[in-house]
């Protein structure tokens, strides 16, 4: 926080102002207005101007403050996350007025035959005005490039009325298109939650893909919107597809919906945010950042796929949008729904201990549940990566004109180049990571720092010319499938193949139009996409996650496998899921075959309780990095040795190098602290942070990560 003097107009709390900051000018957020400053008068600088934006409402300011406190992050940085980029520019001049044109009484008297026949634009404009009572700029452009000019002249004639911006306020008599008869479970869910509209109540809505959660959301949105309330629907980054928006608009053609995510153009994101702020839209669909959207009439928050890692921001303000949603719902006294097929253990634990209401959709109303089968690959020939059973399954689908998906869980599993003679493997010179072998471009690439090099002809260490690939990547699988099924159309979907803008959308379209027979891919394919002809899902190598050092790996693996299984047989075609494993007896796979997340979750919770892991304790991570390894360790030791006093409830572990201990020449390490009491941990962190901040600047960058989900 910084002090400034007001000159002339006094801004309101929550307003954005332009201030001198160092040698530059910056946009600042007014947090408080005081009579006096601790600063000497001579050092105080003046606020230059006030940006033409309504002040942020109190509840948004409170959310920003809370995030800043809880996630141990300077408030300026928190505000920075909350505001669209356009509003952080000193030159911001306010939204362009959105003029709208409506016929006046005189205008309604106009007859087409008043205009000469060759005045085609006049005829067209009149026609457009009769078809649609309010014309915006875009509508005018659709009539003709010169229609805007003509409309202006009609304003002067007194035939048109022109007004700026605000669209008539939300209607409560909106249409909804045809809908299903709800199942009893769905009806119970809708009734239970809608009875709580107007008060804080958190819910877990548990149900596998296709069990009708979205249908429940839609009914609740309908009920909330009927009361003039606004709804915030948050989804994981990758689920925010045009299909979802389309499905929504089809269902509620009259409701005003905007989306908010980081891929929007700056102007559009700002316009959507302002429209939400002004109460002109009823529904905001967005990714994690949308939690900060000021919604004056907020009535309901929905977090779909609440277990998804993309709700947690991994830099700057390291917030969890799901957790903030719960905080915010309480503050605004509205219900919050966390939807998931496989809830995070945190949420599951909250539901089981009655802190959250627990609703369950146990069946798929419109499709059967695809059976999950294990394929034991212990006996498979060395070097073979897809079993005969799986290949037969893919072949059979292909003959029937159905699609198969071969899914590779690539976490910690990527093709590497190794020398069998001396054990050398290709590593990145700037990171402590193995280089990934990209078959197509014949290069080795570092997935941490982007470094890239040609494939060596021989082992740089012993000269052996017979270098081997270790492990399969999607490109290897793609090649193998193309060879095996020469007349099938194979499509690979991963970060490389979808890098170009819109590539992924085009691909989804191709899949839906059945221009593809076999899909090969990673995470991107696991989520939320509905491909009606897809009947077989194959998971190639999920085993490595069973032996991860991350205590969340098992939970994540189950979640991911359930999710990708949900891709099989959504429509009227029966689906099947085949999982290749060397450990078919493992309890995780056994629970998966029974599609029994609950018993697995119970088991994991027992383990976590015994081991003293979240959700039974609260954690925070001090992350640090430096080009100097000794400076890094010195800093972490210093941090571990200066913990203040009176924090017996907090446990501090030893400093350790990060899993990837060096990235782009920066050594990385961390220090884990935890406590059974959230309050005690918070109290400790605030003190500790002040202490660390006061330490003289060193060559170390550091940050605190509260409730980290990755070590
Ligand atoms: P989820 O969000 O849990 O994946 P959806 O709400 O998208 O599930 O529903 C899956 C499919 O089932 C959709 O095609 C939807 O139209 C259909 N559906 C949902 N509820 C019902 C119902 N009560 N009766 C019939 N079909 C339904
Ligand atoms: Zn060698
Ligand atoms: Zn690297």
Q: Is the CB of 207 under 6 A from ligand 1?
A: yes
Say which residue, 489 or 469, is predicted with more confidence.
489
The ligand 1 atom at the shortest distance from the C-alpha of residue 181 is: 23
Tell me the mean pLDDT in the region 424-428.
87
pLDDT of 482 above 90: yes
Q: Average per-residue pLDDT in the chain?
A: 89
Query: Which among 220, 235, 365, 532 is the best mutation to test ligand 1's pocket, defined by most ligand atoms within 8 Å of the CB?
Result: 365
In angstroms, rounded to a whole number, what is the distance separating the alpha carbons of residues 675 and 53? 42
Tell me the mean pLDDT in the region 449-461.
89
Tell me the mean pLDDT in the region 349-362.
96
177-235 pLDDT per residue, tens: 767 899 999 999 999 999 999 999 999 999 988 899 999 999 999 999 999 999 999 99
Orientation of helix 147-157 relative to helix 120-131, angle to 10°: 80
- If you search the block for the tokens 């479970």, which residue do you land on? 185
What's the pTM value of the predicted model, to 2 decimals?
A: 0.85
Cα-based angle 17, 19, 24 (whole degrees, multiple of 5): 135
Residues 6+ apart with CB under 8 A from 431: 446, 448, 449, 451, 660, 662, 663, 664, 665
Report residue 116 as tokens: 């000469």
pLDDT of 1 above 70: yes
Q: Nearest 5°: phi and psi at 218?
A: -60, -45
Residues 6+ apart with CB under 8 A from 554: 545, 546, 588, 604
Buried b (16+ CB within 10 A) or exposed e, 186-213: beebbeebbebbeeebbbbbbbbbbbbb
Share of the chain above pLDDT 90, in %: 54
Ligand nearest to the CA of 213: 1
Strands 99-103 and 49-50: unpaired
Query: Which among 181, 188, 212 is the best mutation to test ligand 1's pocket, defined by most ligand atoms within 8 Å of the CB?
Result: 212
For residue 205, the CA-to-ligand 1 centroid distance in Å is: 14
Alpha carbon separation from 253 to 105, 133, 171, 245, 658 (Å, rounded): 28, 17, 12, 11, 50
Q: Is the CB of 186 under 6 A from ligand 1?
A: yes
For residue 613, the CA-to-ligand 2 centroid distance in Å is: 42
Alpha carbon separation from 424 to 19, 452, 460, 467, 566 (Å, rounded): 57, 18, 8, 10, 40
Orientation of helix 58-70 relative to helix 321-332, angle to 10°: 140
pLDDT of 541 above 50: yes
Query: Which among 182, 215, 337 is the best mutation to test ligand 1's pocket, defined by most ligand atoms within 8 Å of the CB?
Result: 215
Helix (H, G, I), strand (E, B) or coil at 439: coil
The ligand 1 atom at the shortest distance from the C-alpha of residue 341 is: 3
3-state SS of 564-578 is HHCCCCCCCCCCEEE
* Nearest residue (CA) to ligand 1, atom 17: 366
Of 190-199, 238-247, 487-496, 576-585, the least confident: 238-247
pLDDT of 167 above 50: no
104-142 pLDDT per residue, tens: 888 988 988 889 988 889 999 998 888 777 787 767 877
- CB atoms closer than 10 angstroms to residue 382: 4
21-42 pLDDT per residue, tens: 989 999 999 999 988 888 888 8
Ligand nearest to the CA of 434: 3
For residue 456, the CA-to-ligand 2 centroid distance in Å is: 11
Report residue 266 as tokens: 């700056």
Q: Which of 241, 252, 239 is nearest to 209 (CA)?
A: 239
pLDDT band at 165 (very low <50, low <70, confident <90, very high): low
pLDDT of 468 above 80: no
pLDDT of 413 above 60: no
pLDDT at 528: 59
Helix (H, G, I), strand (E, B) or coil at 389: helix
For residue 545, the CA-to-ligand 2 centroid distance in Å is: 29
pLDDT at 146: 85
pLDDT at 173: 64
pLDDT at 171: 52
For residue 48, the CA-to-ligand 1 centroid distance in Å is: 54
Share of the chain above pLDDT 70, in %: 96
pLDDT at 249: 83
For residue 459, the CA-to-ligand 3 centroid distance in Å is: 19
- If you search the block for the tokens 């075609």, which residue do you land on? 573
* Nearest residue (CA) to ligand 1, atom 5: 212
Say which residue, 307 or 697, is predicted with more confidence.
307
309-334 pLDDT per residue, tens: 999 999 999 999 999 999 999 999 99
Q: Is the CB of 210 under 6 A from ligand 1?
A: yes
pLDDT at 529: 67
The ligand 1 atom at the shortest distance from the C-alpha of residue 364 is: 12
In angstroms, rounded to a whole number, what is the distance separating the alpha carbons of residues 581 and 377? 6
The ligand 1 atom at the shortest distance from the C-alpha of residue 211 is: 3
Q: Is the CB of 365 under 6 A from ligand 1?
A: yes
In terms of DSSP H, where are the helices of 513-645? Answer: 553-565, 587-593, 597-611, 629-641
Cβ distance 331 to 296 under 8 Å? no
Q: Nearest 5°: phi and psi at 693?
A: -65, -35
pLDDT at 410: 63
Tell me the mean pLDDT in the region 69-92.
91
For residue 681, the CA-to-ligand 3 centroid distance in Å is: 35
The ligand 1 atom at the shortest distance from the C-alpha of residue 367 is: 12
Of 268-272, 391-395, 535-539, the least confident: 268-272
Ligand nearest to the CA of 420: 2
pLDDT band at 466 (very low <50, low <70, confident <90, very high): confident
Buried b (16+ CB within 10 A) or exposed e, 330-346: eebebbbbbbbbbbbbb
Ligand nearest to the CA of 243: 1
pLDDT at 704: 96
552-593 pLDDT per residue, tens: 989 999 999 998 888 887 667 889 999 999 999 999 999 999
659-691 pLDDT per residue, tens: 888 999 999 999 999 999 999 999 999 999 999
pLDDT of 155 above 80: yes
For residue 547, the CA-to-ligand 3 centroid distance in Å is: 24
In terms of DSSP H, where are the helices of 158-212? Answer: 184-194
For residue 432, the CA-to-ligand 3 centroid distance in Å is: 7
In 3-state terms the chain splits into helix, strand, coil percentages (rounded to 5) of 35, 20, 45
The ligand 1 atom at the shortest distance from the C-alpha of residue 528 is: 4
pLDDT band at 92 (very low <50, low <70, confident <90, very high): confident
Tell me the mean pLDDT in the region 528-538.
83
pLDDT at 571: 61
pLDDT band at 169 (very low <50, low <70, confident <90, very high): very low
pLDDT at 412: 42
Cβ distance 175 to 222 under 8 Å? no
Q: Is the CB of 563 under 6 A from ligand 1?
A: no
Ligand nearest to the CA of 527: 1
Q: Which of 579, 208, 595, 594 is nearest to 407 (CA)?
A: 579
585-611 pLDDT per residue, tens: 999 999 999 999 999 999 999 999 998
Cβ distance 75 to 60 under 8 Å? no
């Amino acid at each position: 926080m910084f002090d400034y003097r007001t000159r002339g107009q006094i801004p309101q709390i929550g307003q954005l102002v332009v201030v001198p900051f160092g040698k530059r000018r910056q946009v600042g957020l007014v947090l408080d207005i005081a009579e006096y400053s601790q600063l000497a008068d001579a050092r105080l600088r003046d606020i230059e101007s006030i940006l033409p934006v309504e002040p942020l409402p109190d509840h948004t300011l409170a959310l920003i403050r809370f995030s800043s406190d809880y996630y141990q992050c300077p408030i300026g940085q928190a505000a920075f996350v909350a505001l669209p980029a356009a509003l952080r520019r000193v030159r911001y001049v306010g939204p362009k007025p959105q003029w709208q044109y409506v016929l006046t009484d005189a205008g309604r008297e106009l007859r087409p035959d008043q205009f000469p026949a060759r005045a085609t634009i006049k005829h067209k404009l009149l026609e457009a005005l009769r078809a649609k009572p309010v014309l915006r700029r875009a509508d005018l452009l659709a009539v003709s490039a010169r229609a805007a000019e003509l409309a202006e002249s009609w304003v002067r004639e007194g035939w048109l009325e022109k007004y700026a911006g605000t669209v008539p306020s939300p209607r409560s008599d909106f249409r909804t298109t045809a809908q299903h008869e709800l199942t009893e479970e769905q009806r119970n869910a809708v009734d239970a939650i809608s009875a709580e509209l107007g008060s804080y109540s958190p819910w877990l809505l548990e149900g596998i893909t296709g069990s009708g959660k979205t249908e429940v959301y839609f009914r609740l949105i309908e009920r909330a919107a009927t009361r003039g309330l606004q709804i915030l629907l948050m989804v994981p980054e990758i689920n925010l597809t045009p299909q979802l928006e389309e499905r929504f608009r089809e269902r509620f053609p009259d409701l005003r919906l905007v989306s908010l995510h980081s891929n929007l153009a700056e102007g559009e994101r700002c316009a959507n945010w302002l429209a939400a702020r002004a109460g002109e839209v009823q529904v905001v669909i967005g990714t994690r950042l949308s939690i900060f959207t000021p919604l004056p009439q907020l009535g309901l928050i929905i977090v779909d796929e609440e277990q998804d890692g993309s709700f947690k921001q991994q830099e700057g303000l390291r917030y969890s949008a799901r957790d903030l949603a719960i905080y915010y719902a309480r503050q605004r006294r509205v219900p919050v729904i966390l939807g998931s097929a496989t809830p995070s253990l945190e949420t599951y634990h909250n539901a089981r201990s009655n802190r959250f209401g627990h609703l369950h959709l146990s069946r798929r109303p419109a499709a059967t549940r695809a059976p999950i089968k294990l394929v034991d690959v212990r006996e498979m020939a060395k070097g073979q990566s897809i079993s005969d059973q799986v290949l037969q399954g893919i072949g059979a689908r292909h003959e029937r004109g159905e699609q198969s998906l071969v899914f590779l869980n690539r976490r910690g599993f990527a093709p590497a180049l190794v020398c069998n003679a001396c054990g050398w493997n290709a590593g990145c010179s700037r990171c402590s990571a193995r280089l990934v072998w990209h078959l197509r471009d014949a290069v080795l690439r570092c997935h941490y720092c982007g470094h890239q090099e040609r494939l060596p002809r021989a082992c740089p260490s012993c000269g052996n010319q017979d270098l081997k690939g270790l492990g399969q990547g999607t490109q290897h699988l793609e090649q193998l499938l193309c060879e095996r099924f020469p007349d099938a159309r194979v499509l690979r979907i991963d970060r490389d193949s979808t890098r170009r803008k819109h590539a992924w959308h085009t691909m989804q379209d191709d899949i839906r139009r059945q221009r593809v027979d076999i899909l090969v891919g990673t995470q991107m394919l696991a989520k939320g996409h509905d491909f009606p002809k897809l009947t077989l899902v194959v998971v190639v190598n999920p085993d490595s996650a069973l032996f991860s050092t991350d205590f969340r790996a098992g939970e994540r693996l189950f979640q991911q496998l359930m999710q990708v299984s949900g891709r099989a047989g959504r429509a009227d075609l029966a689906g099947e899921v085949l999982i290749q494993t060397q450990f078919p007896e493992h309890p995780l796979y056994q629970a998966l075959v029974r599609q029994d997340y609950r018993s697995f979750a119970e088991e994991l919770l027992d383990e976590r309780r015994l081991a003293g892991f979240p959700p039974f304790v609260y954690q925070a991570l001090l992350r640090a990095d430096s080009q100097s390894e000794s400076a890094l360790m010195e800093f972490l030791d210093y941090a571990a040795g200066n913990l203040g006093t009176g924090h017996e409830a907090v446990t501090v572990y030893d400093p350790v190098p990060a899993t990837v201990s060096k990235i782009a020449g920066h050594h990385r390490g961390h220090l884990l602290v935890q406590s059974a009491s959230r309050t005690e941990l918070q109290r400790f962190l605030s003190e500790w942070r002040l202490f660390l901040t006061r330490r003289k600047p060193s060559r170390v960058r550091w940050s605190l990560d509260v409730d980290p989900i990755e070590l």
